[in-house]
Amino acid sequence: MSGKKERNKERREKRLQEISLLRTLPYSDRQRWWSKETIAVVTGANRGIGFEIARQLAGHGLTVILTSRDTSVGIEAAKVLQEMGFNVDVHQLDILDSELISAFIDWIKQKYGGVDILVSNAGVNYNLGYDNSVEFARRVIETNYYGTKNMIKAMIPVMRPSAVGARIVNVSSRLGRLNGRRNRIQDANLREKLTNLETLSEELIDRTVSSFLQQVEDEIWQSGGWPQTFTDYSVSKLAVSAYTRLLAKELSDRPQGEKIYVNCYCPGWVKTAMTGWQGNISPEVAADTGVWLALLSDQTITGKFFAERREINF
Ligand code: NDP
C-alpha cells in the first residue's frame, strides 16, 4: 500500500475509533428532544443499513416505522426489534410504486397523524468489484433518485411542525460527489451549475440524469464524461445529494416551528448484500452518522453532506 493510502486508512480507522467512543456517550437531557411519541420512518429497513438505522433509532426510544417492499420480510424484521422491547411498527412500501406511497401516507395520517423523521435509505446497485455494467441503469436511477425524491415529496405534507424541526436524512454515497478528486463528472461547466445554489434546480438534476440515461440507450455513455466507477449508481447518488441541497434551500424559508432540516450522508463501504458482504465496516457503524443526523439538536445544519459525523464537500 502506498504511503498516502496507508495514512488515509490510519486516519479513517482513528475516526471510526473516535465514533465508537462517541456512541458510548449517552445523550444529555438537553440534547434529547425526542420521546416515544417521536415518529421516524425508515425506507428499505428490512435489512442492511436501513435495518440498523431503525434498530438504533428505536434503541434511543423513538417509535420507528420500519418499511419494506416485501410485506412478510418487513414483518419478520420488525418482529426482531419488537422482541427487543422497541416501539416498532411496520408497513409495506416500495418507493417505485406511487400507489403504495399514497397508501402508506394515508395509513400514517390515520394511525399517527404525522411523522418527525424520514430516513431515505432504500436503494439499489447492481455492480460489484470492478464491474461497471449499465444494464440496470434505468432501474438504479428510478429507484435511487426518482423513488427517493417522490417519497420525500409525498412525505413533506405529513411531516409534523415542531419547535425542534422535522428531519430528512438521505443515504447517499461519496461515489456521487460532484467535486471529488476522482469519479466526478468531467464537464466542469455542468459541475459548476450543479454546485452553485443559484443555478441548481430540480429541472437541471432531472435533465442531467435523463441525459445519462439517453446516452446509455444510445450506447455512447462511455465517452460521455460520467463518473468512471459504478457509473449509473454514482450518477444516481450525485442526483440524491444535489437534490438534498436544493430541497434544504427550498425549505429554509419556512417559519420557525415548521422547519424541516434535510441532510445526506455516505455510510462508508459496508458489509451488506449490496457490496456482496465486502466492505470494511459493519452496518452498525454505517448507520451511525444517519442516526446522529436524525437526532441532531443543532438546528443550523441543513443542506449538508456528511461522512463519519463530519461535513464533506458535495
Ligand atoms: P441492501 O441491499 O442490504 O439494502 C437495500 C434496501 O433497500 C433493502 O431493504 C431493499 O429492499 C431496499 N429497496 C431497494 N429497492 C427498493 C424499493 N424500490 N422500494 C423500497 N425499498 C427498496 O443495501 P445497503 O443496506 O448496503 O444500502 C442501504 C443504502 O445505503 C442504499 O441507499 C445504498 O445505496 C447506500 N449505500 C450503501 C453502501 C454500502 O457500502 N453498502 C455505500 C454507500 C451508500 P429488498 O430487501 O426488498 O431488496
DSSP codes of every residue in 30-43: TT----TT-EEEET
CA of 102 to the centre of ligand 1 (A): 21
Distance CA 294, CA 53 (A): 10
**Portion of the chain with pLDDT greater than 70, in percent:** 100
Residues 6+ apart with CB under 8 A from 275: 128, 269
Task: Kindly state the average pLDDT of the residues 15-24.
Answer: 91
Let me know how long the chain is: 314
Query: In angstroms, rounded to a whole number, what is the distance separating the alpha carbons of residues 301 and 280?
Result: 28
- pLDDT by residue (tens digit) across 188-208? 999 999 999 999 999 999 999
- Told to judge if 233 belongs to the known catalytic residues of this protein, a careful annotator would answer yes
Exposed/middle/buried for 7, CB within 10 Å: 0-12, 13-18, 19+?
A: exposed
Rounded to the nearest integer, the mean pLDDT of the chain is 96
pLDDT in tens, 248-266: 999 999 999 999 999 999 9
Nearest protein CA to atom 47 of ligand 1, as residue: 69
Residue 1 pLDDT exceeds 70: no
- Of ligand 1's atoms, which has the minimum distance to the CA of residue 144? 32
Q: State whether the beta carbon of 290 lies less than 6 angstroms from ligand 1.
A: no
Residue 270 Cβ < 6 Å to ligand 1: yes
Which residues have a Cβ under 8 Å from the Cβ of 137 and sit 6 or more positions away?
212, 213, 216, 221, 231, 232
Cell of 50: 436501513
Q: Could you tell me the sign of the dihedral formed by the alpha carbons of 180, 182, 188, 194, in that order?
A: negative
Distances in Å between the Cα of 277 and the Cα atoms of 51, 138, 209, 300 are 15, 24, 28, 36
DSSP labels, 77-142: HHHHHHTTT--EEEEE--TT-HHHHHHHHHHHHHHTS-BSEEEE--------TT----TTHHHHHI
**For residues 127-139, average pLDDT:** 97
Percent of the chain with pLDDT over 90: 93
